Amino acid sequence: MASGYTGKVLEIDLNRHRHFVSDTDMKAAEQYLGGRGLGIKTLWDRIPTAGLDPLSPENPLMFWPGPLSGLPLAGASRISVVTKAANTSPTESSLPNASTLTYSSIGGFFGPALKKAGFDGLIVSGRSDRPVVLIIDEGKVSFRDAADLWGQTTAIAFEKLGRELGPDFRLLTIGPAGENGVRFAGILSDVHRTTARGGAGAVMGSKNLKAIAVRGTLPVPVSNAAGLISLRQNVSTLLSNWSNYAHWRRWGATPLLLSSDQAGMLTTKNFREGSWQDIAKLAIPVAEREFWVRHAACANCPLKCVKIGQISQGPWKGVIAEGPGYSAGAMLGANCGVSDLNDLMKLIARADDLGLDPIAAGNVLGFVMDLYENNVLHSADLEGLSPVWGHVPTLLALLDKIALRQGIGEILSLGVKRAANAIGTAAVPFAMHVKGQEMAGWNVPASHDFALVYGTANRGGSHQEGASIQEQHRRTFLDALCVCRFVYGAVGLAPYQRALSLATGWQGDDAAMLSAGERIWTLEKMFNTREGFRRIDDTLPTRMTALTFTTGPKKGATFPVGKQEALLDKYYEDRLWDKKTSLPLPEKLKALGLDKLDSK
């Protein structure tokens, strides 16, 4: 057993309700580290051909902590959920189920707990013949019948399981959306965190797996404990010296709603504007004054970004929710034309309860309201609903329909790309996605770099991957270590490179780090190209180039037609990828040691 790793991976076969423990592939761990890295390596190995139905029993649903997980280090609290995505699809493919991978991650405590239960990874495959909860109590694995939880909201599942198992278990659960195969369903952790992007919740639901509980208290072996103890102190000092430390602790990511509005980077009314007149009503100080009741943190982190609040008046008095964080605030707030904080928090709470990706949910709702405003959809198509901007009772009804796949919800549950195709050609221009992944809460016309982020992210229209090749590799490395991007933003990457050395004995330098990031990124790309994704799938919806902002500080901003192609040309060239197809060139694959993988 190498230090930094437990050396064990827990595999669950839901077909037979069996489990077994395999050895961590340490050769792969040297190359791919953990988290998102070991995730794609294992996905590549286990899905040998293109076109596997992501909702089939054969699609492995995998949870990968990293080599720093379980160590008392601020920032190392995340876990990557890697599987074949449920919502993405290439422009052209003869395979109806072709899709990208997804690598969604969450902070909190589940990742550290899984690692401290003794596992470098958890791989769930098969399909249970009945709804179950998987319970991992350190080495002991059991299944609990979930008939009583199936169909229940995530809040009820957390409450019931929490009461039953006690406060030392950390939980993941899906809601009705995941159970019903909604393509943008997420998995929630410790109530208010969602592994959102890519429909991992639908994959979990397709396996009849309602929830996972884990208790872990075992220490993780490390190669240099004294060094890590002193590094822990250094990280804590670096964090407290961070210029944003005090206000980040106080307000978390919520103020980004205001700065993004100023920069014209908000997504307002299905991306048509970059600022929102009512954003101040949704952000600080209103949220702090009227809504928040406590701050919560991820493992070992003083930043306490999690802002939990309770609606204190009006029709939704008593509702408890988290945020608004940036993404949910932008997508369920500005993008839906919402003007009231309690309305927004109720929407977020409902999306959480139903187990939906709040980003995609806001995108889909914006899409519906846009179609309604433009007379593509009418009340008759919507069971009598009239979705006008910001009318929250209607939006709540739509979210319910989506989660239960009733009426128009059946079509909308497919995500904007498939829904637009089902509704008809008039709807297609309104679908704001890349590769079928709903675009997130950062707009493009005033910040063209985001075109590259959305376009080239290997899970489709995601905002998190970075706008330069180097940055993409740095963040991929971070994801392989399961380190938080906020903490990275505060203290940089060096402490985590050092932590990796101290934990595992890893001897790499900056170049080795970037090369690990590139290897992971490129293998993800290879997975996608095998599924049929090409250059055309790296472009934004054409509507983005037709937009001109009409209000706000960036009034007049546009995203010119040729800009995206120029960005992509340079990107592929710098990456040594074929400019026409976007496929990595053989010499690049060889340099990364990926040239021999194809045969497997």
Partner 1 sequence: MSRLIFSRRDFVIGAVVGTAAGAGIMAALLRKSASPPSDSSGGSVFQTNRAARITTLSYIAVDHARCTGCGTCEAECALLRENTFDTWRSRIRIHHFEPSLDIAAICSSCSDAPCVAACPKEAGALTRDPLTGAIILNEGKCIGCRACLRACAKDRSDVIRMSRDGKKALGICDLCGGDPACVKACPEQCLSLVPANQDGRNLAAKPGDIARSLSRSIYRSGRNG
Residue number with CB closer to partner 1 (76 or 412): 76
Query: Cβ distance 479 to 513 under 8 Å?
Result: no
> Residue 556 has which token pair?
């007049």
Q: By rule CB under 8 A, what string of x and - marks binding of each residue 361-400 to partner 1?
A: ----------------------------------------
Burial-class residue 245 by CB neighbours within 10 Å (0-12, 13-18, 19+): middle
Question: Minimum distance from CB of 61 to partner 1 (Å)?
Answer: 24
Question: Minimum distance from CB of 108 to partner 1 (Å)?
Answer: 9
Query: Cβ distance 20 to 499 under 8 Å?
Result: no
Question: Minimum distance from CB of 284 to partner 1 (Å)?
Answer: 18
What is the distance between the alpha carbons of residues 500 and 288, in angstroms, rounded to a whole number? 37
Question: Minimum distance from CB of 314 to partner 1 (Å)?
Answer: 10
Q: Select from 470, 497, 591 the least CA-distant residue to 33.
A: 497
* Site residues (CB under 8 A) for partner 1, limited to 165-224: 167-168, 170, 190-192, 217-220, 222
By CB under 8 A, name the one of 319, 369, 500, 547 that touches partner 1.
319
The span of 45-53, 155-163, 521-529, 533-541 binding partner 1 (CB under 8 A) equals 155-163
The strand ranges marked E within 85-216 are 101-106, 121-125, 132-137, 140-145, 170-173, 187-189, 193-195, 209-215
Residue number with CB closer to partner 1 (300 or 558): 300
Size of the site for partner 1 (CB under 8 A): 48
Q: β-pairing, 121-125 with 101-106?
A: unpaired
Residue number with CB closer to partner 1 (292 or 571): 292
What is the distance between the alpha carbons of residues 480 and 521, in angstroms, rounded to a whole number? 11
Residue number with CB closer to partner 1 (174 or 311): 311
**Cα dihedral sign, 517-518-524-528:** positive
What is the distance between the alpha carbons of residues 84 and 124, in angstroms, rounded to a whole number? 13
Q: How many residues belong to the chain? A: 600
Q: By rule CB under 8 A, what string of x and - marks binding of each residue 408-447 to partner 1?
A: ----------------------------------------
- Asked if 498 is part of the footprint of partner 1 (rule: CB under 8 A), the reply reads no
Cα maximum dimension of the chain: 68
The span of 68-76, 206-214, 487-495, 590-598 binding partner 1 (CB under 8 A) equals 68-76
Residue number with CB closer to partner 1 (156 or 493): 156
Query: Cβ distance 348 to 328 under 8 Å?
Result: yes
- Asked if 454 is part of the footprint of partner 1 (rule: CB under 8 A), the reply reads no
- Looking at the chain, the number of H-run helices and the number of E-run strands are 24, 17
Look-up of token digits 């340490």: 26
Residue number with CB closer to partner 1 (318 or 562): 318
Query: Cβ distance 359 to 457 under 8 Å?
Result: no
Query: Cβ distance 526 to 596 under 8 Å?
Result: no
The span of 90-98, 227-235, 261-269, 519-527 binding partner 1 (CB under 8 A) equals 227-235
Q: By rule CB under 8 A, what string of x and - marks binding of each residue 276-315 to partner 1?
A: -----------------xxxxxxxxxx-x-x-x-xxx---
Spell 544-557 as b/e; 16+ CB within 10 A means b: bbebebeebebeeb
Look-up of token digits 């498939």: 418
By CB under 8 A, name the one of 207, 232, 463, 535 that touches partner 1.
232
- Asked if 511 is part of the footprint of partner 1 (rule: CB under 8 A), the reply reads no
By CB under 8 A, name the one of 155, 354, 404, 594 that touches partner 1.
155
Residue number with CB closer to partner 1 (270 or 342): 342
List of residues contacting partner 1 (CB under 8 A): 70-72, 109, 155, 158-159, 162, 167-168, 170, 190-192, 217-220, 222, 225-226, 228-230, 232-233, 249, 293-302, 304, 306, 308, 310-312, 317-320, 322
